[in-house]
Structure 1
Amino acid sequence: MAQRELSKGLWAAAECLRSAPRPRCEQSIRCARRTFFPPTTRCFATTPARRVGNDNTQVLEPFNAAPPIDFSKPGKKESKNGLLRTLRVVPASPSYFSAKPTFNDDIVNLTALLRKFATLPTISNAEAPKVAWKTVDQYRIMTNEPVKTQRFHKMLHIVRRLNCIHPQLMPEEVTQAMLRYKKASQPGDQVPAPGVIDEWGRARGVGRRKTSSAVAFLVEGEGQVLVNGQSLATFFARLHHRESAVWALKVTHRLDKYNLFALVSGGGTTGQAEAMTLAVAKALLVHEPALKPALRRAGCITRDPRKVERKKAGHLKARKMPTWVKR
């Protein structure tokens, strides 16, 4: 009877196991295994066992570093020359392994100079010396490298920062380094000949506009104006041309302080009047060099005639003159 009851119990247990839901994936099986059979941690020691004293102090193992290499005393198996052959030679340039290292070397040298002299006092960009730097095309031709424009501008930014160092404290090392990036001709190299006043008190100025040219002689006087031996109103019939001819004297309020004698040739009346604008301005600067900012603001010493026209148009508009007078 007992055997039958045992067999019936085993059979019922087997049926229960069959009817139980099976895990659908391997992950659920692993979770079940971890639940019923938790992993046991084992520690493995890689060092030999150490003895612990009665005072619970740990005995440390002795540690010996590798002995330093002494090049003056060669070893038994190899000589001094043989040991030196196995040493690695460090390249002098950080970009030694690149195909064209010139640009990288320039960047490294400029960065090192900036780091070295970064604490020196600087001035603003407006007060810094005017320098004409090389363009990216000129730098590419000089180095024979396809340098990208963005990388070239980053290098030029460092050069401009070095140029802002105070001129009295500028190191010679920085000056020599910047010569590599300057153009052959600088703005201050070509200085025009200074104007002189002759023995009769006359100052001479030359102006050109297209095919017209004008030579103006300015002398202190009462305000008399002659153009090719004729009066201003006789030679230039239009008011606009008269104002262009004496515009430099008008904006500086010098019409009644100088006598003007001009010789014009070539082109039309408009070109001759605009050529006289530049000629009179140059002659006036010989007498009074301090008037250069005022003449520049008025557009008298610019090469763009449209600036002069805009200045004169604004002057006439401020006076609110009628339309027929402008013509």
Structure 2
Amino acid sequence: MKGPELHRGIRAAIQCLHRPTSSTHSVLAPRLRRHLTPKTFRCLTTDNHQGSESQPDFKAAPEIDLSPESQRKEDHEQASKDALLNRIRIVPASPSYFTAKPSFTDDLLSLQALLRKYQTLPVMPPGQAPRVAWLTLEEYKSMVGSEPVKSARYTRLVELLQRLNYINVELVPQEVHKALDRYKRAIQPNLNVAKKHFPDQVGRALGIGRRKTSVARAYLIEGEGEILINGKSLTQFFGRVHDRESAIWALKATERVSKYNVFALVEGGGTTGQAEAITLAVAKALMVHEPLLKPALRRAGCVTRDPRKVERKKPGKLKARKMPAWVKR
């Protein structure tokens, strides 16, 4: 830039500084752009703008804190904690809080964690682990607050419980014991002990059997094989050979027909129901004399009651379930 042109540009800039009513940019733009380079124009406008609007920055002296040093330290720590809490997001206590089944998911995850932790422990051979009756699905739902737990998912939880139950009894950790006790039923049927029966003073053993609507009471005593049913002999009471054999099947299966005398009282039902009721009653009385015969009687099917019953006819039907012909049309 030449000397005369520079002087004219500076003079024009000074004149613009003395015009408070007009904008610096609007006055400088038409005059300076003819004499100044873009760099010089930017410097002049920036300096002029800062000089016209800037105000001196005055700051008051900080407030004097006359509290003890310990109090100031506690206030500073509390302020730091408050600032930290403002930045922290509240995390739910359960990792599955936002799921539809938080309690069930927590239980499943805890059992899986226990299995991963103790899966290297030795297990009992199949069939030798303690028998445990676990909670049913309805009982578990009531325990966790009626959550919508499906049977398939609860079966997965029971499988984990059974796997933990197979750990060797002598090596089961206390943590596993505590977890398994939570899912056990209040009453364990496997721990029930059957009441022992003994022959009376005369040597008679009593057995009670039921089948359909028939009830039989059989008294068994050592003898020569005499059989009386309601005061009648076996052949007089039952006309069919099948019913006769069914009544004393427990003695035949164990080859004790000629060793005991049977005196039975039966009522209700038909001949088939009475014969099978006597079968169960004689088997129970025989186990009182010889408890070791129970496996043989079980294999012969004498100690298990048959729960089946005849389905009775219902109103509006020809039989128990058969509908009339006009209904089918």
Q: Same fold (TM over 0.5)?
A: yes
**1:211-266, Cα deviation, whole Å (9 max, x unpaired):** 21111111222212121222222222221111111100100111111121111122
Superposed displacement of residue 160, structure 1:
1.0
Letter of the aligned partner of 1:104 in structure 2?
T
C-alpha distance after superposition, 1:16-66 (max 9, x if no partner): xxxxxxxxxxxxxxxxxxxxxxxxxxxxxxxxxxxxxxxxxxxxxxxxxxx
Contact 1:74/1:80 (CA < 8 Å) preserved in 2? no
Q: Retained in 1: the 8 A contact 2:230–2:264? A: yes
Distance 2:140 2:291 in 1: 39
Greater shift, 166-175 or 277-286, is seen at 166-175
CA distance in 2, matches of 1:259, 1:76: 98
Q: What is the TM-score of this pair, normalised by structure 1?
A: 0.64
Partner of 1:165: 167
Partner of 1:291: 293
* 2:263 corresponding residue in structure 1: 261
The answer to whether the 8 A contact 2:211-2:306 is kept is no
Deviation at 1:279, TM superposition (A): 0.3
Q: Is the 8 Å Cα contact of residues 121 and 167 (structure 2) preserved in structure 1?
A: yes
- The answer to whether the 8 A contact 2:247-2:278 is kept is yes
Aligned to 2:155: 153
Number of equivalent positions:
234
Task: Using the TM superposition, give the Cα deviation of residue 305 of structure 1 relative to its aligned residue in structure 2, in angstroms.
Answer: 7.4
- 8 Å Cα contact 2:210-2:305 kept in structure 1: no
Q: Match of 2:28?
A: none
Identity %, equivalent residues: 58
**For the pair shown, which has the larger CA radius of gyration, 1 or 2?**
2
Matches within 5 A, 1:237-256: 237-256=239-258
Letter in 1 for 2:160: I
- 1:189 shift after superposition: 4.9
Matches of 2:206 and 2:159, distance apart in 1: 43
1:67-118 Cα offsets, whole Å, 9 max, x none, are xxxxxx9998985434652456654422234354101110111112112222
SS at match of 2:182: helix
- 1:178 is matched with which residue: 177, 180, 185? 180
CA distance in 2, matches of 1:167, 1:258: 45
Aligned to 2:233: 231
Which has the higher mean CA deviation after the structures are superposed, 99-108 or 189-198?
189-198
Instruction: Note the alpha carbon deviations across 1:161-213, whole angstroms, 9 max, x for none.
Output: 01112233333332332233233433225443221111111111100112211
- Cα distance 1:282–1:211, how it changes in 2: closer, same or farther (>3 A)? same
After TM superposition, the structure 1 = structure 2 runs for residues 190-201 of structure 1, keeping only pairs within 5 Å, are: 190-201=192-203
The SS at the match of 1:260 is strand
In structure 1, give the amino acid aligned to 2:235.
Answer: A
* Per-residue deviation, 1:149: 2.9
Report what 1:218 is aligned to. 220
Runs of 4+ in 1 over 6 A off after TM superposition: 73-78
Q: Residue 81 in 1 paired to residue 94 in 2? A: no
Partners of 1:263 and 1:290 lie apart in 2 by 26
**Pair 1:136-2:137 in alignment:** yes
Alignment correspondent of 1:95: 96
Q: Aligned in 2, Cα 1:77/1:208: closer, same or farther, shift over 3 Å?
A: closer
Question: 1:78/1:294 Cα in 2 relative to 1: closer, same or farther (>3 Å)?
Answer: closer
Structure 1 partner of 2:19: none
Query: d(CA) in 1 for partners of 2:190 and 2:173?
Result: 21
Gaps of 5+ in 2: 1-72, 309-329
Contact 2:225 2:257 in 1 (8 A): yes
Q: Does 1:123 align with 2:124?
A: yes
The answer to whether the 8 Å contact 2:215/2:274 transfers is yes
Within a 5 Å distance, the mapping from 1:36-115 to structure 2 comes to 79-82=79-82, 84-85=84-85, 86-87=87-88, 91-115=92-116
Q: Distance in 2 between matches of 1:132 and 1:193?
A: 21
Whether the 8 Å contact between 1:274 and 1:305 is mirrored in structure 2 is no
Note closer, same or farther for the CA distance 1:266–1:150 as it changes in structure 2 (3 Å cut). closer
SS of equivalent residue, structure 2 residue 190:
coil
